[in-house]
Amino acid sequence: MPVDRNVKNYGAGMKVRLAAMSGWFPGLSNVEMVEQIAAYGYSAFENLGAGKWADKEAVKAKCEELGVKPGAISGGGTINGDGPVNLGNHAQFEAQVREAIRNAKALGSTCLVGLSGALRERLSLERQMDNLVLAGKRVAPMLEDAGITLVFEMLNTLRSHPGYFLVYSDQGADLVDRIGSPNVKLLFDVFHQQISEGSVIDNLSKFSAEIGHYHFADNPGRHEPGTGELNYRNIFKAIAATGYTGIVSAEFSLTPNCTSDDVMRIMADCATW
């Protein structure tokens, strides 16, 4: 399908910079997707796999033309496997981050997602945190030189990712504070943190200095706002109140009757007050 330039400019009044998911626009090329979200008045998109796109440079050029910013891309580590909580994984983690920095520069992204890896049964939690701190310190200088931020993602283990190491906001904040680099932060995923600990607004406010990127979805179901229990207008207001000016990225699948136009309207409505 061609780009529809006659869509409503839903995003014009948004108070936070929401990123649409690139996959919501089937039939469009990646460059056309950028044009489509710009037509909706949005200024960001996200696809964690975009660092591997063959047309990164063309996407970057179109983004620069239209004032659109690519969100985070995959940076290194893993969810279920052997990640940087293992000291023996650090060389591999460094290599992953180096490659991700190259990909981010080609795409125009300034944010990488880092994953801690799974818990290691024979190591104490304290030793695993020490290892994760060392991994962050190891890659911090290259991130600072590149002007790119690595955000370690916290994930829920109650429903989605049993065995993952980095779960709670206070745990993540301790990690970031101990690494001590302005280019290593947290990814606060509202969906995951609602499941893990609740008190979403309290926690994102308390740990705002350590947060460098956001993901969001409603809960339960991991679909668009309005399908679950979370009040996203209040959550977006709270994010704005912290002074955060970065990208707040959608990360969810659409319910069967929700169209791409529907979700762009729904999200913009939550972010406009």
Pick out the chain residues at pLDDT < 50.
none
Active-site annotation, residues: 153, 251
Tokens 């207008």, located at residue: 233
Instruction: List Cβ<8 Å contacts ≥24 apart for 4-7.
Output: 4/36, 4/39, 5/35, 5/39, 6/39, 7/36, 7/39, 7/40, 7/261, 7/264
Q: So what's the pLDDT on residue 273?
A: 98
- Write the DSSP symbol of residue 48: T
CATH of 15-270, one of 3.20.20.150, 1.10.10.60, 3.40.50.2300, 3.40.1110.10: 3.20.20.150
Tokens for 64, please give them: 């620069």
Taking the domains of the chain in order of start, what are their residue ranges?
15-270
pLDDT in tens, 63-84: 999 999 999 999 999 999 999 9
Q: How far apart are CA 24 and CA 20, in angstroms?
A: 8
Whether the model clears a pTM of 0.95, i.e. scores above it, the answer is: yes
Q: So what's the pLDDT on residue 199?
A: 98
Q: So what's the pLDDT on residue 130?
A: 98
Q: How far apart are CA 198 and CA 233, in angstroms?
A: 17
Phi, psi torsion values for 216, nearest 5 degrees: -150, 150
